[in-house]
A = this chain, B = another copy of it.
């Protein structure tokens, strides 16, 4: 029973991760280019918050809120682009993404949850709140990169 449930979950997850990609990208390379672009935009705006959190840039509450909203928006985008046949090509994606789809999906959802908290924290206009939410969000990036992205 447990095994059946696990298999059903895996199948459902696989469908979630693959169905939109097939519909949305003409070629696997288009999907790879898209997901890398989404990560690049997300990383740039997350980095701007990081600079404020780490004292490398002055705290600007409005900019922090805008950047955090963008991170939260972008956190939803890359995942549908890890569909079939997108494991090869110009990508650092590790085979584990397709072997451990439930774990991969969990990682994506964790990022989305933390990014939403980051955006809420940024909206308070308080640097301490921003700092408190930044670390857990950064950890979700690192956890997935360690598990699923080649160096």
Contacts and interface: CB of A to CB of B under 8 A. Distances in A.
Identify whether the interface residues of A are mostly helix, strand, loop, or mixed: helix
A37 interface: yes
A33 B40 contact: yes
Interface size range on A against B: 10 to 19
A23 B36 CA distance: 23
A10 interface: no
20 contacts: A23-B57, A24-B44, A25-B44, A30-B44, A33-B40, A34-B40, A34-B41, A34-B44, A36-B37, A37-B37, A37-B38, A37-B40, A37-B41, A37-B44, A41-B41, A41-B74, A41-B77, A70-B73, A70-B77, A73-B73
